[in-house]
Amino acid sequence: MALRYRITKRTNSIGNKTPQYIMQAIAKNTIDLDRLSTAISNECSLHKVDVQAVLIALGIKLEDYLQQGHNVDLGTVGKFKMGFQCKAELDPAMLSPKRSIKKFHINYQPSLKLKRVLKSGITVYKEGSKSRG
């Protein structure tokens, strides 16, 4: 399989105003829980409903453990941890969670296996081209 891309024109509004072009990855579509459960159940002895129950429970537990401050390591999938953006202050006494934290986010670190796949390169093709790698 190959990853599709398009060429997009970008203008830097801060410095050099000369337009530049970038290659931008394009997602084909979104794989939902139902489709993922079906695909996994076709490759093992579990029924689609059982796989779906495990994936739903995984989502619930992932959220729970991250909110408790744990890192969650899902083996070949990768690691997840909670993070946040914080406003800087000159005096540490001025820092408080309510005033200083702007927003929370999830940090994801791919597994070594996924990193090796990324490092070895992914086949890509230009949007609209006949070649699909």
Written as tens digits, the pLDDT of the chain (133 aa) is 688 999 998 887 777 778 888 899 998 899 999 999 999 999 999 999 999 999 999 999 999 999 999 999 999 999 999 999 999 999 999 999 999 999 999 999 999 999 999 999 999 999 888 766 5
Strands 78-86 and 72-73: antiparallel
Could you give the 3-state DSSP secondary structure of residue 117? helix
Q: What is the pLDDT of residue 131?
A: 63
Q: What is the pLDDT of residue 15?
A: 73
